Amino acid sequence: MTLDLTSAAAAFEGSEDFTVGLEEEFALLDPETLSMVARYEDLRQAAEADPLLGPSVAGELIASEIEIRSGRGKDLSEAISLQREYRRRLFSVAESLGLSLGSTGTHPWSDYRDQQIIDTEHYQRVQDSLRYVAWRNNTFSMHVHVGINGADRAIAVCDRLRPVLPLLLAISANSPFLDGRDSGLQSARTQTFTKSFPRCGVPEAFQTWASFADYVEFLVKTNSIVEFTQVWWSVRPHISFGTVEVRICDAQSTAAESEALAALVVACVAQASRDYDEGRPAPPLLGGGADLSGSLIEENMWRAIRYGLSGKMIDFGSGQEFACAHLVGRLLDWTAPMRGELGITPSFPELNGAGRQRAMIEAGLSMQEIYSSVVAETRTSYSQEMTL
């Protein structure tokens, strides 16, 4: 199988700046036990009876998971509006089938050995090639696609976002539990997925589309991949959609946080593209340029995984540590021009999802009590009609 990178480049040349697509993953749960249940096919078939909902749902590796997709919105506002309607319908259908939906980066206790890989050509290929790595990956995330016109511009944006990824992860961290215990991490999802899958995590800086295409073509020639979706980087140019896809974030327990995070990601992509167009350097908030060493970025990635927003990250320009809260302020300052132009004003609670769960742990609540509270919060938040 070959990948047509010439057509992919053309997709970017025909792409429109700052269109938006949203993808959110949910765990399928027994409403009594809150354990994961393998009922994807039941939910998918019921969703397909709704001509509006059907095209927006998709499988995501295991039969106890479902993904909801907004499709292409002309801007962030339209994508959120579409996603809200699809979510509301999905939660309604799930309830009619006696299912609950969970939205954290990992399930606290369901055993990965009990889960089933869904029967699609892509995911059977993933299972055949990765085995334990695929079986172990029972994780849930959110992805944001942002349209970028121009193949070289898309690569430049991906390069410039590399040092920003750890901070976006820290803001989104929402998975402290795994395998029936407190992992001690803020994002056990990232440790499980990003540190296990090949061609995952922070990509190198490619600088040009030609360099990126050479790399992908080498992977195909050496039988390393047969489709581009086997490249699981935390930020990547999506060669089918003409978008920059940011894939670093944990699934969010509330719609408001998911939407705020999506807004922030769109602002980062838009600001990176504007900086590139106007010849400004890469984002100054964590120092270093777009070609900053991946090993240095990984230092901040680990801090995001371990401590989330409660820790510190390294400013590689000064060689000093700063509290994440300070760096979030820098992130907002950096994106202020494009946030103003696009009308983006993301607002986050004082504690992220992992922080709220950590506070409940410290208050003495059990893992089951905490997850029950989070699932109830998710149901209330995502299932209601909302207005922009």
Is residue 208 a contact partner of residue 305, using CB atoms and an 8 Å limit? no
Q: Is 28 a domain residue?
A: yes
Instruction: Write down the pLDDT at residue 90.
Output: 98
Q: Is 379 a domain residue?
A: yes
Instruction: Write down the pLDDT at residue 1.
Output: 42
Count how many residues are written for the chain.
Answer: 388
Share of the chain above pLDDT 90, in %: 90
User: Dihedral of the CA atoms 207, 211, 213, 217 (nearest 10)?
Assistant: -150
Residue 130 CA: distances (Å) to CA of 135, 193, 371: 8, 12, 30
Is residue 146 a contact partner of residue 269, using CB atoms and an 8 Å limit? yes
What is the domain count for the chain?
A: 1
Q: Is 388 a domain residue?
A: no
Other CB atoms within 10 A of residue 137 CB:
21
Q: What is the mean pLDDT of the chain?
A: 95
What's the longest Cα–Cα distance across the chain?
57
pLDDT single digits (tens) 157-199: 999 999 999 999 999 999 999 999 999 999 999 999 999 999 9
Q: Is 202 a domain residue?
A: yes
Give the CA angle between residues 266, 270, 275 to the nearest 5°.
Answer: 150
Q: Using CA atoms, how far apart are residues 36 and 33, in angstroms rounded to an integer? A: 9
Q: Using CA atoms, how far apart are residues 121 and 47, in angstroms rounded to an integer? A: 21
pLDDT single digits (tens) 296-306: 999 999 999 99
Domain at 50, CATH number? 3.30.590.20
Is residue 283 a contact partner of residue 159, using CB atoms and an 8 Å limit? no
Q: Is 320 a domain residue?
A: yes
Q: Is 15 a domain residue?
A: yes
Q: Is 227 a domain residue?
A: yes
Residue 321 CA: distances (Å) to CA of 251, 255, 287, 326, 327: 27, 32, 11, 10, 10
Helix H or strand E segment including 294: helix 294-307
Q: Using CA atoms, how far apart are residues 14 and 4, in angstroms rounded to an integer? A: 16
Q: Is 193 a domain residue?
A: yes
Is residue 282 a contact partner of residue 160, using CB atoms and an 8 Å limit? yes
The identity of residue 372, as a single letter, is S
How confident is residue 289, by pLDDT bands cut at 50, 70 and 90?
Answer: confident
Domain that holds residue 369: 5-383
Is residue 322 a contact partner of residue 295, using CB atoms and an 8 Å limit? no
Closest CA to 65 of 125, 108, 122, 116: 116
Structure tokens at 166: 């750890």
Instruction: Write down the pLDDT at residue 318.
Output: 87
How confident is residue 385, by pLDDT bands cut at 50, 70 and 90?
Answer: low
Q: Using CA atoms, how far apart are residues 230 and 136, in angstroms rounded to an integer? A: 17
Please state the rounded mean pLDDT for residues 347-354.
95
Q: For residue 272, how far is the Cα from the chain centroid?
A: 18
